Amino acid sequence: MLISHWLTALRRGAGSYWFWLIDSADLGTGPGSSVCVEVVSCVDSVRKFVRGESMSFPAVRRCACVVLISLLGLNVLFGEKITFKGSPPQTAVRLFTDTELAKYNGEEKDQPIYMAIKGVVFDVTSGKEFYGKGAPYNILVGKDSTRAVAKMSLEPGDLTHDTTGLTEEELNSLDDLFNDLYKAKYPIVGYTARRILNEDGSPNKDFKPEDQPHFSIKDEF
């Protein structure tokens, strides 16, 4: 009987099965109750063995099964992950350095085209007629062009993440373009180091990935 419980524990996951046994034991019925009887019997056999009495083979087998089930039960603490309903899924986040982001500038024919705004890296390959090699806005890709987008500028001096000195109107325009154009049209593939890390290189505890439910996660990690 204990052998069948042990096999069931392996199939169902020892941790969840352990709790099921405990619950049924508390009720005084079901498998948990029968296992408790076996445990008591095992303890009694061990006590007799300690006093010098011989232990039968069934008793040895019973004790071995009790030990195995107990060890498997510890899996709930050390081996199994406990998840709670409603917990958001954890998704890997890709970090781009300036050097890495610069590789996706539209120069290579079979390589995706990436552009960062507010530290968020978008895959703008589907708009290659605007951002591809020789296209009118190609100068914006392969880098964080937040300031240029805010000012609607293609000046080299505006091709930067720095928003210092921007007017309120320019900042509002930046937010509108970021949310209504880029987030709506192009999938997010990662974030710049400035968005994820502090200046000293430590993780930014306030970082939160952007929500973009209408796109599936692009696995490029």
CA 123, CA 116: separation in Å to the nearest integer?
9
In angstroms, the first-to-last Cα distance of the chain is 48
In sequence order, which residues have a C-beta less than 8 Å from that of residue 143 and are 6 or more positions away? Answer: 98, 101, 102, 105, 115, 116, 159, 160
CA Rg, the chain, in Å?
Answer: 31
CA 211, CA 179: separation in Å to the nearest integer?
10
Query: Which pLDDT score, from 0 to 100, does residue 174 have?
Result: 98
Query: Which pLDDT score, from 0 to 100, does residue 97 have?
Result: 95
Structural domains of the chain, with CATH: 2-78 (no CATH), 95-196 (3.10.120.10)
Query: Which pLDDT score, from 0 to 100, does residue 112 have?
Result: 96
Query: Which pLDDT score, from 0 to 100, does residue 131 have?
Result: 97
Residue-wise pLDDT for 77-114, tens only, equals 344 443 434 444 445 679 999 999 999 999 998 899 99
Q: Print pLDDT tens along the chain (221 aa).
A: 444 444 444 444 444 444 444 444 444 444 444 545 555 566 576 566 666 677 676 666 666 655 555 544 444 334 444 343 444 444 567 999 999 999 999 999 889 999 999 999 999 999 999 999 999 999 999 999 999 999 999 999 999 999 999 999 999 999 999 999 999 999 999 999 999 999 898 999 999 999 887 776 444 43
The number of C-alpha atoms within 13 Å of 55 and in the hemisphere containing its C-beta is 19
